[in-house]
Amino acid sequence: MSNAASTTRKPAARAARAARAARPKGDPGHSGQRNTALAWLTVPALFSFLAFAVVPLAGVLVLSFASWDGIGAIGSAGLGNWFSVLADPGLYNALGLTFLIMIASWLVQTPISLLLGVFTAGSQRYRAALAVLYFLPLLLSSAAVAIAFKALLDPNFGLATGLGLPFLAQDWLGVPHLALGLVIFVIAWQFVPFHTLIYQGGVRQIPRSLYEAAEIDGAGTIKQFFHITLPQLKYTIITSSTLMVVGSLTYFDLIFVLTGGGPGNSTRILALDMYLRGFRANLMGPASVIAVILVLIGLALALFLQRLGGKDKQGSQLEGM
């Protein structure tokens, strides 16, 4: 009986194996179910994006063609808001300051973040402790950072008096070029830790074999940095630069608390100009025009920086060879 049963089961098993072998590897039914499940997982993110990005942006675009003081009825202004804003010299002053702070911040933050990221990516224990200390400024709010620096650099009651350092006893917030330099310094102080963390992760993804081969060939630390580390961090640099450049368009809270846009209009960037027009002058239409301009500038800069990376978005691990 057992021999007969096994004889009966063998053809059935062979038929099952043949059926599985004949079935296409990419089963349309199974693949379709998996794609449907993944599509449903994107629904909450899509809803949040529509609710908190697309809808407000559409509302701002509509308000840019409207006349509204933020309280009363909304009226139509046509292209009047656009003509008035584009003809205002203050817009171009704010635009120039925005790009100046953007470029200066990038020039200051990128080399510091890159070097600190490479340094903290080492395996020594003390470097892990230093990485935690470097990250602390990012845990503070921009308003708190601005208040702290405003107090520390007060010429009468700040560090100049407390530590007896006469060169710090300057009117940092009353002289245009000093105020602008202070803004760039404080921005770098707060956001260098974030980009350091990005570079640290990028360096740790570089294959160790590249450095071992370079050491065998007699390459020193500096040559390894320029011929291996930097090329391998190409896409990390582009990502960090995109976040840095586009993020510089939103430095509102720090500048608002630190300088209020002054002295005069020496630190009145576009984001601050938008706020002052909308909530100080109650000109929601012109403020919405500036908001749309900010969005367009941000999109253009992000697209430009991504184009610098080329079409290969994955990045070869052997790029530095």
Could you read off the pLDDT of 114-129 as tens digits, one per residue? 999 999 888 778 887 8
Chain segment 25-72, per-residue pLDDT in tens: 545 555 667 777 777 888 888 889 899 889 999 999 999 999 998 888
The pLDDT of residue 27: 52
The pLDDT of residue 316: 42
User: At residue 265, does pLDDT exceed 60?
Assistant: yes
Given 3-state DSSP classes, what are the helix, strand and coil percentages for the chain, each rounded to the nearest 5? 75, 0, 25
User: Within 10 A of 210 (CB to CB), how many other CB atoms are there?
Assistant: 20
Chain segment 133-152, per-residue pLDDT in tens: 888 888 899 999 999 999 99
- Residue 66 pairs in a beta bridge with 76
User: At residue 8, does pLDDT exceed 70?
Assistant: no
User: At residue 99, does pLDDT exceed 70?
Assistant: yes
User: At residue 224, does pLDDT exceed 70?
Assistant: yes
Distance (Å, whole) CA 128 – CA 119: 10
Give the DSSP letter of residue 261. T
Give the tokens for residue 128: 């892990």
Contacts of 282 by beta carbon, 8 Å cutoff, 6+ apart? 69, 70, 71
The pLDDT of residue 161: 83
The pLDDT of residue 317: 44
pTM: predicted TM-score of the whole model, two decimal places? 0.81
Give the tokens for residue 7: 């004889």
User: At residue 106, does pLDDT exceed 70?
Assistant: yes
Say which residue, 122 or 196, is predicted with more confidence: 196
The pLDDT of residue 160: 84
User: At residue 198, does pLDDT exceed 80?
Assistant: yes
Chain segment 71-87, per-residue pLDDT in tens: 889 999 989 999 999 99
The pLDDT of residue 311: 55
The pLDDT of residue 14: 55
Say which residue, 315 or 162, is predicted with more confidence: 162
> Which helix (H) or strand (E) is 147 found in, with range?
helix 142-152
Closest CA to 168 of 147, 187, 182: 182
Give the range among 121-135, 180-194, 226-240, 286-300 with minimum mean pLDDT.
121-135
Tell me what the pLDDT averaged over the chain comes to. Answer: 85
> pLDDT-based confidence at 4, cuts 50/70/90?
very low
> pLDDT-based confidence at 312, cuts 50/70/90?
low
